Amino acid sequence: MNVHHADDHSAPTGRRKRLPRAEREQQILAVAEQVFATNGYQASSMDDIAHRVGLSKPMLYEYFGSKEGLLLACVERARRELLDATTEAAAGAGEDAHQLLHDCLLAFFRFGDEHAQPWALLRTEAAIPLATVNTALEATRQQQTDLTARLLEASRPELDQERLEAFAESIIGACERLALWRDKRPEITAEDATRHLMALISPSLVAQA
Amino acid sequence: MNVHHADDHSAPTGRRKRLPRAEREQQILAVAEQVFATNGYQASSMDDIAHRVGLSKPMLYEYFGSKEGLLLACVERARRELLDATTEAAAGAGEDAHQLLHDCLLAFFRFGDEHAQPWALLRTEAAIPLATVNTALEATRQQQTDLTARLLEASRPELDQERLEAFAESIIGACERLALWRDKRPEITAEDATRHLMALISPSLVAQA
DNA sequence: GCAAGTAGCCTACTATGAGTAGGTTACCTC
DNA sequence: GAGGTAACCTACTCATAGTAGGCTACTTGC
């Protein structure tokens, strides 16, 4: 009975004893992100995640409240990373709006390549039937949309607010869809995707008479 | 024990006795669509659906195999409806490609207004962690994408296949995103959304030198 | 050095809901 | 009206989300 099960816990900083909360939380998040991204939310069990960390279930509940809470924490982390990546690109000052938008799109597509796991999480959990998660994701999109709208406004200041918003939403939607398309067609690079999308929308970036 | 529970089953053709399979299936689908669309997949229970139909759970399993199977049947039905609506619009012969694309987009946005429940289903279950459902939805998108690509090709025959595909994917993505945007901004009509999107992409529909 | 106090951790439970085994009964056919 | 079958049910099993309540290693004050 008291087998003590000397199993492998794949955690990187795999200590065997008590860890301070902050450290444990990071460890749990790393494992949970992997499990959720691989199996999806529904097919992942809290027991399994706990076991992989080398911990028992009540600790997960102590730190994250619920299964949904744990997923939410993972999603929050991933969306933060995505946001950082794109806003960093948008901060490249001095260039014209056209170039700036190009850089943002490129940063977005590259995120999928360079942060495969967070991206898989955001992708597979994108429209999960959990209101809180969806809200968090919508918040990210809102930020992306706002950012895009501002870039557009610099190019086409004569457009009204509603149209700017519609353009921004359209571009975000196109991005998400193209990113998914790239999963099916691995030969398409982030640069390719950016070029295609720019080809579609750039005629609309220059003010019309 | 034998209370016979004379409960309300909200089914429209609410008979009390045995029904032939085909009829029962339709009845179940109608209830399930409503429940899934309202509560989402996860929060819906098979017991609840069975009870609302005025039936016991094993019948659902007899006819649909599993909870996922039942959802899949609902989604299949909804996607068929959506596909019919848009292809019907695309069949409007004689008009130029520009006008044809406009009509398809309009039909898509109107679908959300006129078939609120199937649309809610497709929307909330859109990226559910169930492979089969996702596959079905991807199949729909594929058809929509092919259709769009063909429309584009009529306008821009000089573009290579990859770019046409990328354009089509982008437009589909933009549509989905704008449809969601319209949920937040009810004052935006299907016609408005169509105009905005056409304004964004129509410059790219005319062949460039 | 030692006595609390507390943060980290656990075993062992309950509750809910998916899915199933196996039997019963209404209806149709000959 | 006997027999066959399709529609239907009760009463389970089993997995897993979530919880109650207790134990123990480390810290901190004296």
**Over the stretch B3-46, which tens digit does the pLDDT of each residue have?**
333 333 343 433 457 899 999 999 999 999 999 998 888 889 99
Q: Which residues of B134-170 are buried (b: 16+ CB within 10 A; e: fewer)?
A: bebbeebbeebbebbbebbbebbeebeeebbbbbbbb
pTM score, whole prediction: 0.83
Taking CB atoms and an 8 Å cut-off, how many pairs form between chains A and B? 119
Calpha distance B28→B187 (Å, rounded): 34
Assess contact for A203 and B167: CB atoms under 8 A. no
Mean pLDDT by 10 residues, chain A (209 residues): 35 60 96 92 94 96 95 90 85 76 91 92 66 66 81 87 92 89 93 96 78
Locate the chain B residue with the closest alpha carbon to A42: B129
Calpha distance B201→B170 (Å, rounded): 10
Residue B1 pLDDT class (50, 70, 90 cuts): very low
In the 2-21 segment of chain A, residues within 7 Å (Cβ) of strand C are 17-21
Calpha distance B206→B209 (Å, rounded): 10
Does the nearest atom of strand D lie within 7 Å of B156's Cβ?
A: no
Q: For B105-131, what is the mean pLDDT? A: 81
pLDDT of residue A110: 95
Q: For B74-90, what is the mean pLDDT? A: 86
Calpha distance B149→B169 (Å, rounded): 8
Q: Is B180 exposed, middle or buried (0-12, 13-18, 19+ CB in 10 A)?
A: middle
Share in percent of chain B as helix, strand, coil (round to 5): 70, 0, 30
> Could B42 and A130 be called an inter-chain contact, meaning their C-beta atoms sit closer than 8 Å?
yes
pLDDT of B136 strictly over 70? no
The Cα-based distances of B159 to A174, A194, B88, B153, B167 in angstroms read 19, 16, 26, 7, 10
DSSP state of A203: G
Calpha distance B45→A85 (Å, rounded): 40
pLDDT of residue B132: 59
Which of left, alpha, beta for A14 (phi over 0: left; psi -120 to 50: alpha)?
A: beta
Contacts of A37 (CB under 8 A, 6+ apart): A117, A118, A120, A121, A124
User: In which residue are the tokens 């193209």 written?
Assistant: A178
- Nucleotide nearest B18 (Cα, C1'): D7
The first and second tokens of residue B154, run together, are: 């009529």
| Chain B residues inside the 8 Å CB shell of A162 | 188, 192, 196
Calpha distance B137→B124 (Å, rounded): 12
Count the neighbouring beta carbons within 10 Å of the beta carbon of residue A20. Answer: 7
> Could A176 and B173 be called an inter-chain contact, meaning their C-beta atoms sit closer than 8 Å?
yes
Say which residue, B124 or B175, is predicted with more confidence.
Answer: B175
Residue B203 has its nearest CB partner, among A128, A193, A204, at A204
Cβ of residue A126 closer than 8 Å to a chain B Cβ: yes
Assess contact for B64 and B124: CB atoms under 8 A. no
Residue B127 pLDDT class (50, 70, 90 cuts): low
Instruction: Give chain A's largest Cα–Cα span.
Output: 81
DSSP state of B16: S
pLDDT of residue A14: 37
Instruction: Report helix, strand or coil for B94.
Output: coil
The pLDDT mean for chain B works out to 83
Nearest partner of A115 among A145, A151, A86, A154, judged by Cα: A86
Cβ of residue B157 closer than 8 Å to a chain A Cβ: no
Contacts of A120 (CB under 8 A, 6+ apart): A37, A38
Assess contact for A204 and B200: CB atoms under 8 A. yes
